[in-house]
């Protein structure tokens, strides 16, 4: 495997950044994960728009022009021979002597890009069987709309899920309302058969897959409602599913040990997933 690190294509095994990179010391950086399907990058423009926004919100400089960045991404995908998989892109505020205050504006930012193949059989098995989730209090900061690499709460939540025999942790805010998953957005099908997801306020990341599914639902004539929903409503929902670039749309069949609906993946998740791929292709 090959990784791009600050202007160079390096063997993945030895690719490294400096010990005083602010990403390493302060989680002072942002990232994107984007799907590659049949050799094409899915929703690249939206991912790069969100990257721009994350950088702007944190006053981190652009690593390079969009055209140059796109060329590097394509080159990393090509060199790793990824047909179906993901690329990962991270920009940090760069290398500087440790000091909480930002370094001088001319400090070069760090840019790292990797790409890897994923196994379609594993994804298909998850879609067929559905996943289990746990719920946890949302203990993150109030700017999770910025896609920062400060993911320790998310890592802790996924670990807790794993230890409970589940695959995702779903965050619940102080009002008992679902925010999102540790690395996914959460959807339910409510009692009226409508697709419901939380409004993209500062309490969740505005997922690119979430936006794509809104497009798909509009095309299919499926009603989407952006409103908050509680953990209780989720447990009683007809269907629950989670979405992200890494998984598109995984059904959740059990939450905190309680079965969702009849315990099998639902028809809506399946329909959305199929249509999503039609639109993406």
Binding site residues, ligand PDD, CB under 6 A: 33, 180, 183-185, 205, 207-210, 243-246
Can you give the C-alpha Rg of the chain in angstroms? 19
What DSSP state is assigned to residue 13?
G
Tell me what percent of the chain is helix, strand and coil, each rounded to the nearest 5: 30, 30, 40
Q: How far apart are CA 222 and CA 249, in angstroms?
A: 16
Instruction: Give the strand pairing for 29-37 and 40-41.
Output: antiparallel
**Comparison of 95 and 144: residue with beta carbon closer to ligand PDD:** 144
**Residue in 31, 23, 104 with CA at minimum distance from that of residue 73:** 31
Query: Smallest distance from the beta carbon of 257 to ligand PDD, in angstroms?
Result: 23
**Comparison of 149 and 261: residue with beta carbon closer to ligand PDD:** 149
**Residue in 155, 157, 114 with CA at minimum distance from that of residue 133:** 157
CB distance 113 to 4 below 8 Å: yes
Query: Smallest distance from the beta carbon of 280 to ligand PDD, in angstroms?
Result: 12
**Comparison of 69 and 244: residue with beta carbon closer to ligand PDD:** 244
Query: Smallest distance from the beta carbon of 18 to ligand PDD, in angstroms?
Result: 24
Q: Phi and psi dihedrals of 176, rounded to 5?
A: 80, 10
**Comparison of 42 and 95: residue with beta carbon closer to ligand PDD:** 42
β-sheet bridge partners, residue 187? 197, 241
Q: How far apart are CA 73 and CA 48, in angstroms?
A: 11
Among candidate residues 116, 147, 162, 219, the one labeled active-site is 147
DSSP state letters, 181-222: ESSSEEEEE-TTS-EEE---STTS---HHHHHHHHHHHHHT-
**Comparison of 48 and 253: residue with beta carbon closer to ligand PDD:** 48
Query: Smallest distance from the beta carbon of 228 to ligand PDD, in angstroms?
Result: 16
Query: Smallest distance from the beta carbon of 37 to ligand PDD, in angstroms?
Result: 14
**Comparison of 33 and 261: residue with beta carbon closer to ligand PDD:** 33
Helix (H) or strand (E) holding 274: helix 267-280
Is 147 among the residues known to form the active site?
Answer: yes
Query: Smallest distance from the beta carbon of 245 to ligand PDD, in angstroms?
Result: 3
Residues annotated as part of the active site = 147
């Amino acid at each position: 495997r090959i990784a791009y690190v600050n202007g160079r294509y390096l063997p993945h095994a030895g690719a490294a950044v400096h010990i005083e990179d602010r990403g390493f010391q302060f989680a002072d950086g942002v990232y994107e994960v984007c799907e590659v399907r049949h050799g094409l990058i899915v929703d690249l423009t939206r991912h790069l728009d969100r990257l721009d926004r994350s950088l702007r919100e944190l006053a981190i400089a652009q690593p390079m022009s969009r055209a140059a960045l796109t060329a590097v991404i394509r080159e990393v995908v090509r060199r790793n021979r990824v047909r179906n998989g993901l690329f990962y892109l991270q920009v940090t505020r760069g290398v500087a002597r440790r000091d909480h205050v930002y370094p001088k504006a001319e400090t070069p930012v760090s840019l790292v890009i990797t790409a890897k193949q994923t196994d379609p059989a594993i994804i298909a098995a998850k879609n067929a069987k559905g996943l289990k989730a746990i719920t946890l209090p949302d203990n993150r900061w109030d700017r999770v709309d910025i896609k920062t690499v400060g993911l320790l709460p998310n890592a802790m939540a996924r670990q807790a899920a794993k230890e409970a025999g589940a695959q995702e942790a779903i965050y619940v805010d102080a009002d008992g309302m679902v925010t999102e998953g540790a690395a996914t957005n959460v959807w339910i099908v409510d009692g009226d058969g409508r697709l419901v997801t939380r409004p993209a306020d500062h309490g969740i990341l505005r997922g690119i897959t979430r936006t794509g599914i809104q497009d798909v639902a509009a095309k299919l004539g499926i009603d989407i409602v952006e409103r908050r929903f509680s953990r209780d409503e989720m447990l009683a929902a007809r269907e629950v599913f989670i979405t992200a670039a890494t998984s598109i749309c995984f059904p959740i069949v059990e939450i905190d040990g309680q079965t969702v609906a009849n315990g099998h993946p639902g028809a809506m998740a399946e329909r959305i997933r199929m249509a999503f791929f039609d639109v993406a292709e």
